[in-house]
């Protein structure tokens, strides 16, 4: 079993829809949770960063963490064609050494006009 599970999609939605992206994890030591957006042939871009259970909002994006269920979500409101990309969840645990991120496989999202 992978430490982080993410539905690869592809997910296709109409412009203006609310998008829900999800990841589950098995390692209860994970304390930091991130969402990255990756356009084709580009590096991942950090969208959201959180370290506690609950919701965090930034513009059209809301990140939700439920540590008791080991489940995280990213919601995108009023989706736009420019949101079409692969969305990667990532998580890490606090260590004395450093910051190793464990990623999901990514969900490919297409927002259609």
- Which residues of this protein are in contact with another protein, per CB under 8 A? 4, 6, 8, 34, 36, 41-46, 49, 88, 90, 94-95, 97-106
* CB-nearer residue toward another protein: 59 or 98: 98
Helix, strand and coil percent figures for the chain, each rounded to 5? 5, 55, 45
Q: Is the dihedral of CA 24, 92, 68, 12 positive or negative?
A: negative
Q: Tell me how far, at minimum, the Cβ of 80 lies from another protein, in Å.
A: 22
Q: Tell me how far, at minimum, the Cβ of 77 lies from another protein, in Å.
A: 23
* CB-nearer residue toward another protein: 19 or 37: 37
Q: Which phi and psi angles does 41 have, rounded to 5°?
A: 65, 25
* CB-nearer residue toward another protein: 44 or 83: 44
* CB-nearer residue toward another protein: 90 or 109: 90
Tokens 């539905």 belong to 7
Q: Tell me how far, at minimum, the Cβ of 42 lies from another protein, in Å.
A: 5
**Under a CB-based contact definition with an 8 Å cutoff, are residues 34 and 6 in contact?**
no
Q: Tell me how far, at minimum, the Cβ of 34 lies from another protein, in Å.
A: 8
Angle at 110 between CA 58 and CA 23, to 5 degrees: 60
């Amino acid at each position: 079993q992978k430490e982080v599970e993410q539905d690869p999609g592809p997910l296709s939605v109409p412009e203006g829809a609310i998008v829900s992206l999800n990841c589950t994890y098995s390692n209860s030591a994970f304390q930091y949770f991130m969402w990255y957006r990756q356009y084709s042939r580009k590096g991942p871009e950090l969208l959201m960063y959180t370290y506690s259970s609950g919701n965090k909002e930034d513009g059209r994006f809301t990140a939700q963490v439920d540590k008791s269920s080991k489940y995280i979500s990213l919601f995108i409101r009023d989706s736009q064609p420019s949101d079409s990309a692969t969305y990667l969840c990532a998580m890490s645990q606090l260590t004395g050494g450093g910051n190793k991120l464990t990623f999901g496989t990514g969900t490919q999202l297409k927002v259609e006009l």
